Structure 1
Amino acid sequence: MLLVTGGGKGITAECALAVAADTGAALALLGRSDPAEDEELAANLRRMADAGVRVRYARADVTDPAQVGAAVEELTGTLGPVTAVLHGSGRNEPGGLAGLDMEAFRRTLAPKIDGLRAVLDAVAPERLKLLVTFGSIIGRAGLRGEAHYATANERLADLTREFAARHPGCRTVCMEWSVWSGVGMGERLSVVEGLERDGITAITPDQGIEIMRRLVADPDVPPVVVISGRTGTIDTVRHDRPELPLLRFVDRPLVHYHGVELVTEVELNAGSDPYLADHLLDGNLLFPAVIGMEAMAQAAAAVTGRQDPPVIEGAEFQRPIVVPPQGSTTVRVAATVVDDDAVRVAIRSSETGFAADHFTARLVYSGARPPAGPPEQVGDELPAVSLDPAAELYGSVLFQGARFQRLRGYHRAAARHVDADVAAEPAQGWFAGFLPGAMLLADPGMRDALMHGNQVCVPDATLLPSGIERVHPAGPDVTGDLRYCATERERDGDTYVYDIAVRDATGAVVERWDGLRLRAVRKGDGRGPWAVPLLGPYLEREVEDRIGVRVAAAVEPDDGSGGSDGGSGGGVEGRRAATALAAGRALGHPAEIRYRPDGRPELGDGRTISASHGAGVTLCVVADGIAACDVETVTGRSETDWDGLLGRHAALAGLLAAETGDDRDTAATRVWSAVECLRKAGLPADAPLALAPGRAGADAWTVLASGSLRVATLATTLRDRPGRTVLAVLAEGRT
């Protein structure tokens, strides 16, 4: 049974109910009030009973040993022996020191001091497993008009320590509370709002109950514990406040309780933060997510004193932080210690009046190294992808400026898999020379490349981060050439989720990201001009979206002559070598290709492979079912020539030109490519072919149908190649 003093109201009643609910203990309440005349007390007793708690109330003045003894005897006869005590009795009648006399002191000390002694005399102390006394921070800090109350609480803490020393088998703790909101003496005395104006924040009932539960459950809690919100301007409260580290995002501390909470304010502009000029999108300077992670790590380090890189969990980038090119934006970084090794951090901005979270995360100091395992690197059997990030990605596909340009080359650039070389450089030049330049995490330029390097998977859009499940970051000592692998875990509309592993030259994982969410914005229409290696991922995704079938696709530069039956340099052997390379790109590993007598390629695992050479490229697709592909250069021909080439499908070319806005040559080339795909799929040249319902639009794509087969055709341009090119992929369509 838990014996509770202080009546059935206020913070004592709330905490007693929580203990009873957690432990199943019965509640024996002592108080002077009569439930028949005190509706608040009666309502609390009903609430406790309705919660399934065995509860009894006995009237007694806790300062009267005889009344306490009689009440305890009555309650134990009904509920059983007392094994725990929660002493919450107290009296607070504020008064100036000059007006206090011994009687005022005696009245104030009696409930806390005499009351505790009376209760302990009435129970068997050796049977107690738990003693909790409720004191006040005023006992340590003092407060105007509270000299007598401060004395009573200081003495209560002393008595609690003495009992703990005499009874080591009983868990004993004096909880010295700051003011609560909603319940308790602070509300009764109407001082909560005044204290808040002085920067003293009240403890909410939910917070107080949760803290009480933790303290009761923790065997390592000392006999006296202070629990408070912010203590504001109380000069008599001393906190351990080591000097803050010299870091960019620990600039102007607004709130600082070491080991508990830190709020700092930082002004961002292109002069003090030159990296902003390299993160310019649509005329706006965007505060990069990777710098946001560094800011969170710096705030967490400052509030905890830790310097090792934390694991970043549940990072959310809810709102962009925008800095005007000719102005500034102020951000506030708030870090709150929520567990022994965990810090919750949020970044807010002046652009939203500091009223909304822009970036949030939980930082955990686990000390664990990044886990090994997938995503894995591709083998060395295939040559590097012929894609130069400096010349073909940055400045066109990618908007990042010089400080973030850390991609060096790709080993694989597919729709759902990236394997690339990145460079990590020592931290320097990120902030103005008069500001601290130290970083706690590895090169933010390298880290940003882990996000924008995945752009090759969705090359027709700009990918921006919206969140990350977990990051095991490398520290600032990780520099030099690294290799990162990313695989797509899932896709939901325009949101793509990736897992990433970063390895050093020895193959050891130095950084890992789980569940990076990238959101596609500013989607293009596919008209190009395209860097050739990016066409494979683009085709793969668009074919799946437009036909409903997943195919593996790759497009490789090929300087041979064109035509669906044309070859690359070196004749048949050259074409077959180009096909093998493109197939390897599509599959992610070298492909063993056999050829039938008619020249059609086959794979040994039963999947379908098709390849086409033309327009200076090789196109290859691989699928589980029916599949074919073709690539053609759009060539100007007379209507008579097109009618002769297309035969019965000439009318379809005219329809496409009318409905899509294509010129006659482009529309006819689409039809010709579709006919070539039908032929490669084993259908006769005069097989039916029609415009698929609802598939013609204003973009570069048109879908044609032949029974259940669908042919997705793309009319586009290729970088450094004249004219237009049509690429077509056939598969058995699904809804």
Structure 2
Amino acid sequence: QMAAEGGREWADGVRRLAHTVLVAKRTQIPLKAAAAAGGRAAFVAVTRLDGANGYRGSGGGAALPGGVSGLVKTLAIEVPALFTRTVDLAPGLDDRTAVTRFLDEIHDVSTDIADVGHDAEGRRTVVPSAEPPAGHVTAVPEIGAQDLLVVTGGARGITADCLQALVEARPAGLLLLGRSQVGAEPEWARGLEGAALKGAIVKRITGAGEKPTPRGVEAVYREVTGSREVRDNLDRLRAAGADVEYLVVDITDAAAVRGALAPYAARVTGVVHGAGVLADRLICDKTPEEIERVLGTKIVGLGHVLDALRGTADLRHLVFFSSVAGFFGNRGQSDYAVANEALNRLAVRLKHELPSARVTSVNWGAWDGGMVTDDLRAMFASRGVALVPVATGAGMFAEQFTAARGQDTVIVAGPLTPLSAPAAADASAPASLLIDRTLADIAAEPVLADHAIDGKRVLPATAALGALVNATERVTGEPVTEVTGFKVFKGLVMDAAEGPAASRLRLFIEPGPATRPDSFEVLASAVDDAGQSRPSYGARLAAVAHTAPADRTDLARAAREATRTDAAPFYRDGTLFHGPALRGLRSVLVSEERLLLLAARLDDGRPARGAYHGRFHSPVLADLLLQSALVWVRRFRNRACLPMEVASLRFHAELPADQEFLIAVENVVAGPGGISCSVTALDREGRVLQVLDGASLVEDPQLEGKFGAIERTGTAPVAV
């Protein structure tokens, strides 16, 4: 039996959701004013569903509050100046952890994440996936002639087209619920449509001695056309061989629904919920009556149907018509978005309770029919939003009742394209931004234990660069493809000999000069627990399109013709100090002053769950490029050194994880205190992946003898 929402819980859930829409309305003006004054103004909704935004379905409480996500995503579109997010905290999280996680979220630099869930295992975000759901042990039956489906809104609009496709493929009994009265076509209306029908209505009203009004004429027009549409659709379904009955009932009336379904309940095996109404208006203009009407039909109406069948029907097929308006948010449809997101969460909860049933919430894209007018069609076309053809969508609906689709729970049917988006100008990054990020997330990682000099853990320069890249990408939403002027002012030693150790990085991000409007200047300072800070790293980062460089076929050929020698001794003889997590240099292919060519392979450990990664940057794999430069210095100058600066770094592609690639050290210019060189990473065919130009390494006599191999006992690094 179903334990999810029942009885008064439907109305209570709708009341709470309606309240959140009105809160967003009332707070919008002061929040916009606060955003305009500078700083962060936020609208954040907190739920306690299951730690996965209701997509596990196992939280034990109500599922409907998950609908608030639709409001938050719509608010982000309508008022892009605000920081918006829905944060779902697992019920089992202790209060201290819940507070810490919440504070982390409201200070998050990323503004393009809508839904975040937290449980004891960590943090999750919601993204659409093309992968099919994981297989379930419990089989789901296909639909057949023995089934009887209760269908809300099924006698009109798109839902009727979907039912037509279903019964043509898989005959099933249909019990349609609707508010339109169905009677014989009046003689005076036969053959009339549009303006002609409205003219006939005006004549009838006038002939009855009454004064026609636009509202009165429209009411009669809707009654006549609605009845006509229902009759036509019933005839179509019966012609396809379906056993169809139509019941006139308002699904928002619980007693009426219970009475209408009582004679059929024992035979009902499924529910298709297609009913819905729109009342499009911006959040700032929404009225309580509009919100109640939209939520009442979509949520309370479904609740009344399920309550009427609870304990009697053997429900094996539950399919809800949801919308991408909720999944992505949609301008002007906050209440509709809330209702549809609530359906999504309810579907997941019901699937958890009824594992042998087909429970699917279909998030439809915009249909090329139904309520889409010519004006809307043109608007969608201008935005590049593809519409779902009626025949295609109806076929997809019918397919949902096959065995192959039995485990679908929340799906998007149609293009993965939001129906609306914030204006680009409103979504731009702030003029400058100050970000504090903890170092605790990387402090316990093997990569840091394996980057220790003389027993002291040192943040790899590539990890520091990763912090800059990651923050810039999250602020701008664009992948960093170019870094210039990267400098290590003072390396960050995690195990300070005196005084408190650094506990966080403070990043100051500001737009580049007028000559480089596509770039950002980033300065990172190490901050200790006493609040003392010192500049540690700096760079200019940009997201620019690069012309792909010519393939280095000469290096690929040299690699193929080379006699390989093992590079493992570099990690034992004092050439390199890196521990197992960073030991990726595998072979020496060419060893000349003009060219040092190495083969590398290393799995990407993704420290701190990717918090130091960029779209093209891996702090683990990129460290191999700098290691190669250290090898050159040891081989040809017999000195220990550390990287201090990279004049230019261009990302053309990712470095491959756990696959061999080549690293070439070239163009070496030696000076009294170190060298400058270029380092190129390329695949085995010679395609250039990443290029470091002007990589400067400073030789330091004090480093001699400190580059011993690193072995780990427990978590403490020990130099041997």
Is the TM-score greater than 0.5?
A: no
Structure with greater proportional helix content: 2
Give TM-score scaled by structure 1 length: 0.31
Give TM-score scaled by structure 2 length: 0.32
Higher relative contact order (CA closer than 8 Å, sequence separation 6+):
2
